[in-house]
Structure 1
Amino acid sequence: MTSSPTPDPSTTGRALLAALEALGPTPALAWYSEASRIELSGHVLANWVIKAIGHLHDEVALEHGDTVVLDLAPHWKRLVLALATWSLGGEVALLPRTGAGDPSADDAAAAPPGDGEDPRVVVTDRPDSALADTADEVLAVQGVSLAPRYDGELPPLVRDWLVEVRGSSDRLGVALPAWSGPAPAPSSGGAAPRLLVAGDGLETASRTLGAFLEGGGIVGPAAAVTPERAEVEGVTDRC
Structure 2
Amino acid sequence: MSPETSTQLLTALERSGPRPALAWYGEAARIELSGHVLANWVIKSIGHLHDEIALDPEDTVVLDLPAHWKRLVLALAAWSLGAEVTLLDRDAEPERDADDPDPRVVATDRPDTPLAADADEVLALGAVSLAPRFDGPLPALAHDWVAEVRSSPDRLGLDLPAWSGPAPEAPAATGTPPRLLVADDGLAAAPAVLAALLAGGGFVGPAAEVSAQRAREEGVTTPAEDA
**TM-score by structure 2 length?**
0.95
Matches within 5 A, 1:1-239: 9-97=2-90, 106-111=91-96, 116-190=100-174, 191-238=176-223, 239=227
Note the C-alpha offset of 1:35. Answer: 4.3
The AA in structure 2 aligned to 1:51 is K
The answer as to whether partners of 2:193 and 2:202 remain within 8 angstroms in 1 is yes
CA-based RMSD? 1.2
Gaps of 5+ in 2: none
The answer as to whether partners of 2:3 and 2:162 remain within 8 angstroms in 1 is yes
**TM-score by structure 1 length?**
0.90
The AA in structure 2 aligned to 1:70 is L
Partner of 1:103: none
Note the C-alpha offset of 1:130. Answer: 1.1
Task: Return the alpha-carbon distance in structure 2 between the equivalents of residues 133 and 159 of structure 1.
Answer: 13
The answer as to whether partners of 2:28 and 2:129 remain within 8 angstroms in 1 is no
Deviates more, 1:187-196 or 1:217-226: 187-196
The AA in structure 2 aligned to 1:96 is D
Q: Identity over the aligned pairs, expressed in percent?
A: 65
User: CA-to-partner distance for each residue in 1:45-64, whole Å, 9 max, x for gaps?
Assistant: 00000000000000000001
Partner of 1:100: none
The answer as to whether partners of 1:186 and 1:211 remain within 8 angstroms in 2 is no
Where 1:39 maps in the other structure, the secondary structure is: strand
Gaps of 5+ in 1: 1-7, 98-105
Count, aligned residues: 222
